Amino acid sequence: MDAGVAVEGLGVSVGAPLAQAAKGTTHWLVERWDADAVAWVRRKTGLVEPDAAVFRRLKVASYRTTEVVGNVITNGGWTRIMSLLTGGGGQVLDDTHTRIGVGDGDTSEDYANTNLAGTNKWWEPVTGVGTLGTRTLTFQASFGSSVANFDWDEFGIDVTSGTASAGNTVGALLFNRKAGIAQGTKANGQVWSASAVLTFT
Q: What's the average model confidence in pLDDT over 191-197?
A: 96
17 part of a folded domain: no
Is 18 a domain residue?
Answer: no
User: By residue range, what is the domain housing residue 181?
Assistant: 24-200
78 within a domain of the structure (yes/no): yes
pTM of the shown model: 0.87
Give me the number of domains the chain comprises: 1
Residue 4: CB atoms within 10 A of its CB come to: 4
Q: What is the pLDDT of residues 66-78, one digit of tens each?
A: 999 999 999 999 9
- Is the dihedral angle over the CA atoms 90, 95, 96, 100 positive or is it negative? positive
Residue 89 lies in a domain: yes
Within-domain flag for 12 = no
Task: With respect to residue 136, please indicate whether it lies within any of the assigned structural domains.
Answer: yes
> Mapping DSSP to helix (H, G, I), strand (E, B) and coil, where does residue 175 land?
strand
